[in-house]
Amino acid sequence: MNSYLIKRVMVLIPVLIGMTIIVFSIIHAIPGDPAETILGQKATEQSKQALREQLGLDKPWLQQYFNYMGDLLQGDLGTSIRTKTPIAKEIMPYLAATLELTAAAMLFATFVGVNAGILSAWKQNSWFDYTSMIIALIGVSMPIFWLGLMEQMIFALKLHWLPSIGRMDQRDPVESITNLYVIDTIIAGRWDQLWTVIKHLILPSIALGTIPMAIIARMTRSSMLEVMNSDYIRTAKAKGLSQFLVVYKHALKNSLIPVLTVVGLQTGALLGGAVLTETIFAWPGVGRYIFEAISSRDYPVIQTGILIIAFIFVVINLLVDLLYSAIDPRIQYK
Amino acid sequence: MSQATLNAAPPNAPAEKVSGPWRDAWKAFRKNKTAMMGLCIIVFFILIALLAPLIAPYDYKEQELVNRLQAPSADHWFGTDDLGRDLFTRVLYGARISLWVGFFSVIGSIIVGTILGVLAGFYGKWIDMIISRLFDILLAFPGILLAIAIVAILGPSLQNALYAIAIVNIPTYGRLVRAKVLSLKEEEYITAARAIGMKNSRILLKHILPNSLTPIIVQGTLGIATAIIEAAALGFLGLGAQPPDPEWGKMLSDSRQFIQKAPWTVIFPGGAIMLTVLGFNLMGDGLRDVLDPRMKS
């Protein structure tokens, strides 16, 4: 296992280096003069030159890349052109907001998806099976941004059940410790605030979680159906175990492996989808941070934001890979 | 009996339908209800896209400011938007843009992906090393984010959104083709072709490419669905189609501020995206079941 882990991380190194090259190249791929693109056509030659020096654009390409890598390895993620603040410091609250949103979305997607899949397989060809698979099919085809708008229209603006935008009631701000508001409110013992935070989380996490939910439900169903026909399930049934135990204890465990893969892959995809969800729900996360940086041509922020999300994506995929063996001892790593 | 008489068809026999893999697949496809539904939805939207100038009651750019945000009526089936433009017309024309981006970005990804995949799978060694790592790196970014980055570099436009979506999806097809080529390379008929002195290029064109086609067709159909959503997402973020182009995603973002006053401005364009994407997903699933039973989920 340990040697596998080392090997797996070693394979990641070229990928990580490649990622930095791509992200590094973003600013160099801008057609024309990047300094002019960032500052606008009216900028003076002086200010353009200053920016070039600040970004190191006046040095040879290779030297720029090595400087960039050196800074990265020392934890220097660059400085925002717009706010002149170090990005490493600035990005933390945004990152926390995105993590909270994606975690909530994944929780929703996994819980609803896995259970709907199990029940569909258990009651195969029942009305429940048909309905949930039709919902899953529509869910897979749902544009996140449209679903988000429809949710806002129905549950926030028409029914007034839930807030339509934001993370928190502005008049009663959460005291940030971890920047994960659910945890912060629990630490502070503010249960009323916790409820408000959860209410703000519901609509965006459902919007973000619907596509993975649908994919997980379909995957769980087909995986369960395969397992339910195996010999050991027949044995378990013959022993007189209750249906519930057979399904949730015996069958589920073996059907979880493909499901886990999907959960892992979808968590990565969620990080991309977060850009859209955060735009609709004015959620102050990394996606929005990057998007705003694009509008103001703040390229260092664009670079770092994308690099961080890609890095998280790669780490999640690695974790999923390692989790396999924990769930299924039949999978052995060499 | 001579060879000629053995092969000759009996006289007066009814001309029997030739049975081939494609004909068999079509037969199986026709029986698959959801797949046929998908095909119908796609054909419907293709017809709309082609016939838009004939069906559309108005010009999609025509503004009638007196008729701003009108609810659906006999005059304006889907109502009007904030500039008084007929939404029905704009949704019809939107089909052209979405299908265009969907088809051409996927064709672009398939062409580049296939070339890279064939090179990697067929020639192996360092070529494979470089190409496969390149795919790994591209796949390490969430697709839509990479597309956003590419558009941020090239500048927002529909054309650039199409390029971005095509680039982002190259590894999907590249990996698929590479895997297929790797398995085909070991087949006996390829060894046979080589033994009779066939050149590499001929083996590739005559044997390997045609046999790699099925997974590409399946993935390509599902890929159009993804591409349409991605294009609409870029449009929604203001990074794709620019006004006055009636792109569905752009229409959504333009109308979102009127969602309470004029919900129809959001319902119809979004519904059109969902339905089109659903069509390609249904058809892709069906094709997979028919053409490639091993990929069946």
Which fold would CATH assign to domain B79-295?
MetI-like fold (1.10.3720)
Residue with tokens 């699933």: B285
Q: Give dist(CA B6, CA B165) in Å, integer.
A: 56
Asked if B145 reaches chain A (Cβ–Cβ under 8 Å), the answer is yes
- Average pLDDT taken over every residue of chain A: 85
- Amino acid at the residue A101: L
Asked if A268 reaches chain B (Cβ–Cβ under 8 Å), the answer is yes
Asked if B136 reaches chain A (Cβ–Cβ under 8 Å), the answer is yes
pLDDT digit string, tens, across residues A52-77: 887 777 788 888 888 888 888 888 88
Size (chain B), residues: 297
Asked if B256 reaches chain A (Cβ–Cβ under 8 Å), the answer is yes
State pTM to two decimals. Answer: 0.87
Q: Give dist(CA B115, CA A269) in Å, integer.
A: 26
Q: Domain spans of chain A?
A: 8-74, 93-327
> Could you tell me if residue A75 is left (phi over 0), alpha (psi between -120 and 50 degrees) or otherwise beta?
left
pLDDT digit string, tens, across residues A126-166: 899 999 988 998 998 999 999 999 999 999 888 999 998 88
The pLDDT value given to residue B16: 52
DSSP label at A239?
A: T
Which residues in chain B have Cβ-Cβ distances shorter than 8 Å to A268? 142
CB contact under 8 A, A309 and B256: no
Q: Give dist(CA A291, CA B152) in Å, integer.
A: 10
DSSP A258-283: HHHHHHHHHHHHHHHHHHHHHHHTT-
- Amino acid at the residue A37: T
ipTM: 0.85
Question: B16: helix, coil or strand?
Answer: coil
Would you say B266 and B281 are in contact if contact means Cβ atoms under 8 Å apart? no
Query: Cα A110 from chain centroid?
Result: 14
Asked if A15 reaches chain B (Cβ–Cβ under 8 Å), the answer is yes
Q: Give dist(CA B186, CA B172) in Å, integer.
A: 23
Task: Say which of A140, A152, A275 has its CB closest to residue B145.
Answer: A275
Is residue A266 scored above 70 in pLDDT? yes
Q: Is A9 exposed, middle or buried (0-12, 13-18, 19+ CB in 10 A)?
A: exposed
The pLDDT value given to residue B6: 46
Angle between helix axes B264-291 and B248-255 (nearest 10 degrees) is: 150
Alpha carbon of B80: minimum distance to chain A alpha carbons (Å): 18
pLDDT digit string, tens, across residues B71-88: 888 887 888 888 888 889
Is residue B3 scored above 50 in pLDDT? no
CATH 1.20.1240.10 fits A93-327, yes or no: no
Is residue A12 scored above 60 in pLDDT? yes
| Residues 37-96 (A) with a CB less than 8 A from some CB of B | none
Which residues in chain B have Cβ-Cβ distances shorter than 8 Å to A309? 141-142, 145
Alpha carbon of B139: minimum distance to chain A alpha carbons (Å): 9
Cα distances (Å, whole numbers) of residue B22 to A250, B41, B290: 42, 22, 10
Asked if B260 reaches chain A (Cβ–Cβ under 8 Å), the answer is yes
Would you say B112 and B170 are in contact if contact means Cβ atoms under 8 Å apart? yes
Q: Give dist(CA B109, CA B106) in Å, integer.
A: 5
Q: Give dist(CA B77, CA B57) in Å, integer.
A: 10
The pLDDT value given to residue B108: 96
The pLDDT value given to residue B32: 85
Of A111-125, B76-90, B103-117, B170-184, the one with minimum mean pLDDT is B76-90
- Amino acid at the residue B222: L
Band of the pLDDT at B107, cuts 50, 70, 90? very high
Q: Which among A146, A278, A315 is the top mutation candidate for probing chain B, defined by the most B β-carbons within 10 Å of its own β-carbon? A: A146
Q: Domain spans of chain B?
A: 79-295
Size (chain A), residues: 334
Token representation of residue A123: 């009651």
CB contact under 8 A, B267 and A150: yes
Which residues in chain A have Cβ-Cβ distances shorter than 8 Å to B143? 269, 272
Q: Give dist(CA B186, CA B121) in Å, integer.
A: 11
Task: Say which of B143, B152, B232 has its CB closest to residue A272.
Answer: B143
- Amino acid at the residue A298: D
CB contact under 8 A, A145 and B137: no
